[in-house]
């Protein structure tokens, strides 16, 4: 059984993560003015909850592979480290990969304690993070080029209608896979310490809904100002591929964030044009942020665990 | 627009195209007033101006719809420029009508030469405007491309009319007012046709942006 302070930290963390990722899940539909901001938030909240309830249990096996038995007592170190990193990301209003932060925190605990229980799986997870971005970009490029060739002779307006409906559908699916993978990861981590409980389940669901409603404002306001609005077809394909990659990872209990695949998809969409101007700086800065926070999470959780063990 | 409207109704960009075809209809009316003006009907001048005011109101209303409604942000600027270009066609037709009413060429051979060329230009403009209307309603990119190619052909033929008018103005022995009038109407007529070509280019460009 975990105490109230830990519930509070977990609630805040999941709320921040959920709010931070509303942009990624439903941002393209909102930026394209297909749905309003309110409708987007509702889709995100419903998607998170449905994904978590239906697919959230798939990440439990993965968490067990990443956290040694004796490290279970330090799972709250991972939660606290992740909460600190995410609070900073929320203040800076940047998309952050919770999956990377929490996974590296768990590995940091293992390294300070008795070692990583399933090193092969840990390597697979990190390899999947890198490979997923490359595969996502490549798939988006290929699908967009194929679509450009085949859609030009189709009736424009019915095709655009179908694309817009697709964007709404994949926005829901993106929220769904986020709920299954990322929120599922958070729940699986917490339940290692506390066990499965109705209180924990209710806390996680409440946090996800609260976060999507109350903590997504900053990121959503940046849409259209700083985050480039994708064209309809680009948005549909980018989001679809992102959902597919995250869905596959979820089935194999691999934690991965929607932000990673979506960012890679956006760059793939830019590269699909014959004449293009693609800024490297934002991609470099995003990857640097994720890498930096991954290392920071690893070191911080390692240091705190060593301190507590001493 | 609510979510269900988006799902079941027409796409916002399609609605804008449909509404902006009203501007082209105003242009067709203004162009027919131009033909009457060339033939000597003074009442047609005032009517062309009234049509231009109507087109301005319509353009303002459509502009509000673009900024308030469900047009994708990456298309807003293009859409605004597009309806502005179409509105300029009507304005230029009104200005041309006024110019023709303001001064009548006194030398008969010059007047006949200019009027004949203007009626040819007016006919090309009429054809191009009707092609633009079809482009508004076209369903595929390839259909839009074919119609655009015809508008461009008309623009090239109109350029020849402009050149013929300018050559006449510089080569003939007419007074300065007549010379100025001929060059003015030549350029104004060309501006109308250029506007049609620009609008055709924008329709294709916007459709490609939406679909790809």
**Domains and their CATH numbers in chain B:** 13-211 (1.20.58.220)
Least confident of A87-101, A124-138, A148-162, A175-189: A87-101
Burial code (b: 16+ CB inside 10 Å, e: under 16) for A170-201 equals bbbbbbbbbbbbbbbbbbbbbbbbbeeeeebe
pLDDT tens-digit profile, chain B (212 residues) = 455 555 545 668 888 999 999 999 999 999 999 999 998 887 887 899 999 999 999 999 999 999 887 788 888 999 999 999 999 999 999 999 999 999 999 999 999 999 999 999 999 999 999 999 999 999 899 999 999 999 999 999 999 999 999 999 999 989 999 999 999 999 999 999 999 999 999 999 999 888 77
The average pLDDT across A156-179 equals 93
Contact at CB, A224 and B73, closer than 8 angstroms: yes
Residues in chain B with CB shorter than 8 Å from the CB of A235 are none
ipTM for the complex?
A: 0.77
Residues in chain B with CB shorter than 8 Å from the CB of A156 are 14, 139-141, 207, 210-211
Helix (H, G, I), strand (E, B) or coil at A223: strand
Q: How many CB atoms lie within 10 A of CB B4?
A: 8
- Global pTM reads 0.84
- CB A190 within 8 Å of CB A64: no
Of A154, A157, A231, the CB nearest to B14: A157
Of A31, A160, A224, the CB nearest to B210: A160
Chain B interface includes A169 (CB < 8 A) = no
Q: What's the CA gap between B124 and B156, in Å, rounded?
A: 10
Q: What's the CA gap between A21 and A147, in Å, rounded?
A: 28
pLDDT at A6: 79
- CB B148 within 8 Å of CB B200: yes
Contact at CB, B12 and A33, closer than 8 angstroms: yes
Residues B169-200 have pLDDT tens digits of 999 989 999 999 999 999 999 999 999 999 99
Q: Is B167 exposed, middle or buried (0-12, 13-18, 19+ CB in 10 A)?
A: exposed
Residues in chain B with CB shorter than 8 Å from the CB of A151 are 211-212
pLDDT at B202: 96
Q: How many CB atoms lie within 10 A of CB A300?
A: 22
What is the overall mean pLDDT for chain B? 91
* Closest chain B residue to the Cα of A146, Cα to Cα: B212
* Range list of H helices, chain A: 4-31, 37-55, 59-66, 75-92, 98-112, 119-151, 156-178, 184-194, 198-214, 217-222, 232-251, 258-271, 280-309
Residues A77-111 have pLDDT tens digits of 888 888 888 777 767 766 678 899 999 999 999 88
């Amino acid at each position: 059984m975990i105490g109230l302070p830990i519930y509070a930290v977990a609630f805040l963390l999941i709320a921040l993560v959920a709010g931070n990722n509303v942009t990624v899940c439903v941002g393209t539909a909102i930026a394209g003015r297909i749905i309003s901001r309110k409708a987007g938030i509702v889709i995100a909240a419903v998607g998170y909850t449905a994904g978590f309830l239906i697919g959230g249990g798939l990440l439990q096996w993965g968490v067990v592979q990443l956290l040694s038995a004796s490290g279970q007592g330090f799972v709250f170190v991972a939660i606290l480290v992740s909460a600190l990193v995410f609070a900073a990301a929320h203040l800076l209003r940047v998309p952050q990969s919770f999956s990377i932060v929490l996974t590296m925190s768990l590995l940091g605990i293992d390294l300070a304690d008795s070692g990583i229980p399933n090193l092969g799986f840990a390597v697979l997870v990190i390899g999947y993070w890198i490979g997923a971005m490359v595969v996502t970009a490549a798939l988006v490029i290929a699908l967009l080029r194929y679509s450009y060739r085949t859609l030009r002779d189709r009736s424009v307006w019915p095709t655009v209608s179908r694309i817009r409906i697709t964007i709404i559908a994949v926005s829901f699916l993106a929220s769904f896979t986020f709920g299954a993978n990322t929120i599922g990861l958070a729940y699986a981590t917490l339940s290692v310490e506390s066990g499965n409980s109705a209180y924990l389940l209710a806390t996680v669901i409440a946090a996800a809904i609260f976060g999507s409603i109350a903590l997504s404002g900053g990121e959503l306001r940046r849409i259209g100002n700083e985050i480039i609005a994708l064209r309809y077809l680009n948005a549909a394909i980018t989001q679809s591929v992102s959902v597919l990659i995250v869905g596959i990872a979820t089935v194999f209990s691999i934690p991965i964030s929607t932000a990673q695949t979506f960012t890679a998809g956006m760059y793939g969409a830019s590269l699909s044009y014959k004449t293009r101007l693609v800024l490297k700086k934002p991609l470099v800065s995003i990857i640097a942020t994720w890498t930096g926070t991954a290392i920071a999470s690893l070191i911080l959780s390692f240091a705190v665990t060593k301190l507590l063990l001493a | 627009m609510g979510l269900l409207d988006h799902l079941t109704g027409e796409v916002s960009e399609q609605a804008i195209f449909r509404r902006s075809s009203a501007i082209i209809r105003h242009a067709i009316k203004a162009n027919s007033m131009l033909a009457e003006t060339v033939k000597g009907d003074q009442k047609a001048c005032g009517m062309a101006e009234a049509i231009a005011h109507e087109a301005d109101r319509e353009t303002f209303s459509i502009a509000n719809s673009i900024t308030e409604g469900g047009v994708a942000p990456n298309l807003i600027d293009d859409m605004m420029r597009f309806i502005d270009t179409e509105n300029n066609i009507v304005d230029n037709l009104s200005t041309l009508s006024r110019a023709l009413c303001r001064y009548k060429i006194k030398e008969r051979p010059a007047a006949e030469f200019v009027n004949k060329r203007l009626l040819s230009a007016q006919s090309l403009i009429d054809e191009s405007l009707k092609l633009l209307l079809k482009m508004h309603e076209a369903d595929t990119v390839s259909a839009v491309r074919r119609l655009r190619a015809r508008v461009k052909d008309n623009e090239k033929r109109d350029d020849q009319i402009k050149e013929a008018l300018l050559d006449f103005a510089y080569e003939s022995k007419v007074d300065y007012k007549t010379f100025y009038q001929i060059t003015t109407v030549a350029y104004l007529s060309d501006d109308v046709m250029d506007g049609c070509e620009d609008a055709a280019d924008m329709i294709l460009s916007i459709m490609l942006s939406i679909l790809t």
